[in-house]
Amino acid sequence: MSSPEQWTHPEPDAAPAATAAKPTAEQVIAGLRATDEGGADLVQLLTPEGERVTHPDFDIDITPEELRGLYRDMVLIRRVDREANALQRKGQLGIWVPLLGQEAAQIGAGRAMRETDMAFPSYREHGIAWTRGINPTELLGIFRGTDQGTWDPVEKRFHPYTIVIGNQVLNAAGYAMGQKFDGKVGDDEGEATMCFFGDGATSQGDVHEGFVWAAVYDAPLVFFCQNNQWAISEPTERQSRLPLYQRARGYGFPGIRVDGNDVLATLAVTKWALDECRHGNGPILIEAFTYRMDAHTTSDDPTRYRLSDELEMWKLKDPIERVKVYLVRQQWADSEFFESVEADADELGEELREFCTNMPDPPAERIFSNVYAEGNPNLEAQRDEFLDYVSGFAGGEH
């Protein structure tokens, strides 16, 4: 099912993946109607009601233990998100970028990756960071203003958060080209790269160029677009006439829309896409159809541009609740399990608060450090002059 031929020469299909209930682009842009249906092509394995369904192309065998693990991941990263949001409200962080609602998209994608795969995140990828083994405390400095990300991107295979929209897509394409040039693509031991970006980013030239580069160099790259329906205040209809996953066809590689609130489907589709890439059949675009349940950042006010009933609609599709329902119904988890996860979340929250409030400000020298790998005598002179000036105040009144 995965041959590029099939995707690059699809059946002519005039009918868009829409239902009669689907709002028009004009209605969405005007704020009159919301988009919450992913359409007929949406890959789903666990319904919002917690029912396990099958899909002809994508399925996954999941053990109770694995599903409990995914549930735990999602609960914990949601707690990290809520704690950090609260820390911003208390003045401990300058800003926070909430992931609320996107837990399944990120945990599903992140847990599909192998240690040898590489990830290039945008700035909302706290769940991906979690799956790469990065302590959530390492995210705080970026938003408190003490650093710009402290993890080792090479060791963790998790690039620094990229804030300029879409830049990282080209960086990821280059990295994936390097994996190919290094001979690390072509069998089951192959490497692959994942690149994360949002619906708004798809309008950026860099994302388009990333699609072109990855395609013409057959790069082992999974483009993972979290369509959370909103780019700050602009709905996806303002970025595209076409469902985003269908864009891939124009570049000559597969595009798949997955229910981004379904951790199982996201895991299954992403695993498949990564395997295709590591075998040399990349690139692939995945559009995870999800919803940003909170503001763009703590500085944003979504009540100015979207209806609250849209949020209520999406709350019914919560990514965590459906897994909980399924775990209970299958008797794969008992109350003891859920209580232990809550306890872990409480502990994590406390660790985060404790860490955040005790983070020291960086020293003044940090302004000048590591601008260059091989130094710059003029900059060093500027630094020394400034530090000399600062030291003049030492112990004095100023």
Partner 1 sequence: MAAPTMDRSTAAAPATPVQTLTISKALNMGLRAAMEANPKVIMMGEDIGKLGGVFRITDGLQKDFGEQRVLDTPLAESGIIGTAVGLAIRGYRPVCEIQFDGFIFPGFDQIVSQVAKLHYRTQGKIKMPIVIRVPFGGGIGAVEHHSESPESYFAHTAGLKVVSCSNPSDAYWMIQQAIDCDDPVLFFEPKRRYYEKGEVDTTSAPGKLFESRVLRQGTDATLVAYGPMVRTALDAANAASEDGTSLEVIDLRTLSPLDLAPVFESVRRTGRLVVVSEAPSESSIASEIAAKVQQECFYSLQAPVLRVTGFDTPYPPSKLEEEFLPDLDRVLHAVDRSLAW
Query: Interface with partner 1 by CB under 8 A: which residues?
Result: 120, 147-150, 152-154, 159-160, 162, 164, 167, 169-179, 181-182, 205-206, 209-210, 212-213, 216, 369-374, 376-379
Question: Distance (Å, rounded) from C-alpha 90 to C-alpha 352?
Answer: 14
191 or 276: whose CB is closer to partner 1? 191
At closest approach, how far in Å is the CB of 99 from partner 1? 21
Strand partners, 172: none
- Least distance (Å) from partner 1 to the CB of residue 193? 8
Give the shortest CB-259-to-partner 1 separation in angstroms.
30
How far CA 259 is from CA of 63, 125, 267, 324, in Å, comes to: 20, 17, 10, 17
Residue number with CB closer to partner 1 (220 or 260): 220
Tell the smallest beta-carbon distance from residue 371 to partner 1 (Å).
5
From the candidates 305, 329, 366, 389, which is the catalytic residue?
A: 305
What are the structure tokens assigned to 348, written together? Answer: 């994590």
126 as an active site residue: the answer is no
Using alpha carbons only, what angle is made at residue 126 by residues 88 and 106, rounded to the nearest 5 degrees?
140
Task: Report the 3 state secondary structure along 131-143.
Answer: HCCCCCHHHHHHH
Distance CA 10, CA 13 (A): 8
Whole-angstrom distance, CA of residue 371 vs CA of residue 179: 28
Residues contacting residue 106 through CB under 8 Å, at least 6 positions apart: 77, 99, 125, 126, 127, 128, 130, 131, 226
For partner 1, the closer CB: 7 or 120? 120
What minimum distance in Å lies between the beta carbon of 231 and partner 1?
18
Nearer to partner 1, 155 or 336 (CB): 155
* CB 198 to partner 1: min, Å: 17
Q: Does residue 292 carry a catalytic annotation?
A: yes
Which of 111, 126, 278, 292 is catalytic? The answer is 292
Which class for 341: exposed (0-12), middle (13-18), buried (19 or more C-beta within 10 A)?
buried
Nearer to partner 1, 51 or 147 (CB): 147
Nearer to partner 1 by C-beta: 221 or 225? 221
Q: Which helix (H) or strand (E) segment is 258 a member of?
A: strand 255-259
CB-based contact 319:267 (threshold 8 Å): no
Task: Compute the least distance from the CB of residue 213 to partner 1, in Å.
Answer: 5
* Catalytic residue (one of 144, 159, 296, 322): 296
Residue 172: how many other CB atoms lie within 10 Å: 30
Residues facing 118 on adjacent strands: 193
From its phi and psi, is residue 229 left (phi > 0), alpha (psi between -120 and 50) or beta? left
Tell me the three-class secondary structure of 355-393, residue by residue. HHHCCCCCCHHHHHCCCCCCCCHHHHHHHHHHHHHHHCC
Q: Which residues are marked as active site?
A: 292, 296, 305
